[in-house]
Chains A and B, each alone.
Chain A
């Protein structure tokens, strides 16, 4: 069976302009949460988020001016992909059969052009209702073609293929907060089956925009701890009150093992297991027994041919919502049995917030870095663990521990569950 390894990684997050600066912040237990600056959120129920505040595409690519009007998702994706490819050492011109180099992303939808859109709706409202003829005729004059086109979630996958000459399989999945983990899992399957030798995979997303915050506030999913931004994301804590929006991108180069060896690539780990399930329960809630989460973790273990005792670290989905953290804890216990109490677990969302579609890819990279460096990032703000959250969540401070096998969980609205097992490549 073809084995799939990771040979390159790149990310842009609220904690850093790249992977190493993000990783350093995670080890320090630094929070990236602060007041929202991307738009005027002063009166919103939630006024805080984890923004990639210093991000500027010109720090990453020369032809950045070409991308000025493109959405944040695309810019994050380009930067992270550029860094992942450089990190892998792949020379796209020489090392690759372009027809066997593909892209599989889990990118979110681009943000609606809020100022133009609300102005258009207002201008075309007649007696309380939108006049569609007025909307379309004014829309043609007032909306920006690129801003509109960029909302299609499949566009970053197209842009990256163009930039890096990837003529192989090309896809984008969008399964809410599980998307980029799912993309990594499915990209792995494409290489395993022989459709490609190298895949650029991961995700990119920002929902720190008026409609994003509005939508999540309506669902009462976000923390409203506006006065204490750095303490707002507190997974597994008794006083958690919702998640914090983050933004950014994580990109990985997946490569068939022999292909990687032939070019003498540095191998950062192996994608050993992938599980995908649906709760098939409710649109708004997770299944109360963690049915789907358990099944997908078990599936990943089976595919990796590993036992619960083999797991050294779990990067939890750990959103800091009441329901997720309790059910995820339950699911980990049901999957791992007694071993669950011995495995260190952390939620890096406590520091960088929830990158939604991009979350899983960034967290998978964090798992690979724990393998590389033997350091486990903490769950910050875990002052008083909730009564039903009684596992080892690495509170407050990073911990040293040799790591060979890691789990990365991602669960999405609608009952989407993904688990990945990333392990040290040991020949």
Chain B
């Protein structure tokens, strides 16, 4: 790039984090979330939501007590009209949507925006979301009604009589853009709206894109992050069919083991993380508490000719280098890396090799948090980012769980045991899909934002 263009980019508007909302298996607020991380209390257990059979494993990380009847009282803004609108819309909301909507309410309150007068055309939404699995019992009556002739499905019966047995708004309940749409309606966000559906890379991509939208002046505030729930029978079957699920036979809490020699796969999780991003002067003018700053964003892809992951981690390397370049930082400026750390053999190795090439001799401390809460897929990027942000603002790097014996081929300075003190609030958060799509963010904790 020409140097004058580079100068133009550096004169862009700065983007800070002024609010966060989290609902994940470890907690439903920054304090409970951080306590669990610092006390190394994981949330992977035998699945409680429903019984499973025949799968390689029956463990997962669930958000406890999150049910439509009660969560609005706990999490929604204390505004009667808002809560009325929320309860009215609940029938259109799959669990993924509800998690996002609840976390968005928490984030707006956290950002001090409950009664704030903000220009609705200058606030937008950009979220990561996934394929939402339909609730089986919504379809079962229609399917069974149409399969009465010796168990053979009859399209004629389905068309004539089955369709009418399905709730009228069934389709809208499962569209991935509805997380963002409900939030835009409930908080009157008329600015840009996008939904990134790229599995584990989704919420980092959304946060990066949202920060760019503010940087280029198209909005002053963005609600961003993501949500997902893989605690669903069909999602578990899919994970198993792709041979991704952990077969760990020990204690459930040990099932997801990032960078450990015995790692053997994923654990399903669920949750939501929402950030309020804001142009820095806009935030300062309204006296907002600044929790951090988005410094850089980069994305890349393994693009292996036969598909799948590159064991050398080329896509992650490209994403990391792009994010560092975007931030105008050197590898040695980074305090720690929050890795994807899926807990699968190839993925962790690929990441470790990418880190070695990017950070070389500086041997940056690395942490990976899926041992606590499994894979939140479209939500993992933001939930993991929030952990590092909370840590940075406490001078600590949250520790990796379940890496009892670091794989010697993953030559990393992995933060294990206790949370590690750090003076450097700048970190990199990176995630990776099974197609090798990678997205990285460079973020600074609040104390460095001046």
Contact = CB atoms under 8 A, between A and B. Distances in A.
Contacts of B157: 43
B30 interface: no
A306 to B, nearest CB: 17
Nearest to A415: B181
A279 B129 CA distance: 20
A195 B237 CA distance: 37
Contacts of B147: 118-119, 122
Contacts of B144: 121-122, 125, 128
A91 interface: no
A218 B177 contact: no
Interface residues of B, number: 103
A102 B185 contact: no
A158 B193 contact: no
B436 interface: yes
Contact of B233 (A103, A136, A215): A136
A130 B153 CA distance: 16
Contacts of B129: 174
B318 A167 contact: yes
Given A41-B155, A214-B163, A415 B185 contact: yes
B48 interface: no
Nearest to B435: A158
A166 B153 contact: no
Interface in A115-161: 115, 118-119, 121-123, 125, 128-130, 132-141, 143-145, 148-149, 151-155, 157-159, 161
A282 interface: yes
A170 B1 contact: no
A115 B155 CA distance: 10
Contacts of A40: 155-156
A175 B242 CA distance: 27
A189 interface: yes
B194 A140 contact: no
A412 B176 CA distance: 12
Interface string A397-420: 000000000000000111110000
A413 B181 CA distance: 9
A380 interface: no
B185 A173 contact: no
Interface in A161-202: 161-176, 182, 186, 189, 193-195
A9 B8 CA distance: 31
B140 A148 contact: no
A426 interface: no
A109 interface: yes
Contacts of A152: 130-131, 197, 199
B287 interface: no
B116 interface: no
Given A140-B55, A174-B197, A166 B136 contact: no
Contact of A276 (B182, B192, B238, B435): B192
Contacts of A341: none
B196 interface: yes
Contacts of A140: 54-55, 237, 240-241
Contacts of B6: 194
Chain A to chain B: the 7 pairs with minimum beta-carbon distance, closest first: A158-B435, A137-B54, A414-B181, A43-B159, A215-B171, A133-B53, A137-B53
Interface of A: 1-2, 39-45, 98-99, 102-103, 109, 115, 118-119, 121-123, 125, 128-130, 132-141, 143-145, 148-149, 151-155, 157-159, 161-176, 182, 186, 189, 193-195, 210, 214-219, 276-284, 291-292, 295, 299, 412-416
Interface of B: 1, 5-6, 8-9, 50-55, 89, 92, 120-121, 124-125, 129-131, 136-137, 139-141, 143-144, 146-147, 151, 153, 155-160, 163, 166-172, 175-178, 180-182, 184-185, 187-199, 201-202, 205, 209, 212, 216, 218, 233-234, 236-238, 240-242, 298-307, 314-315, 318, 322, 326, 433, 435-439
Given A2-B5, A143-B238, 17 more contacts: A115-B153, A121-B136, A129-B140, A136-B52, A141-B54, A153-B197, A155-B435, A159-B307, A162-B303, A168-B300, A170-B198, A170-B315, A276-B124, A277-B192, A291-B190, A414-B172, A414-B177
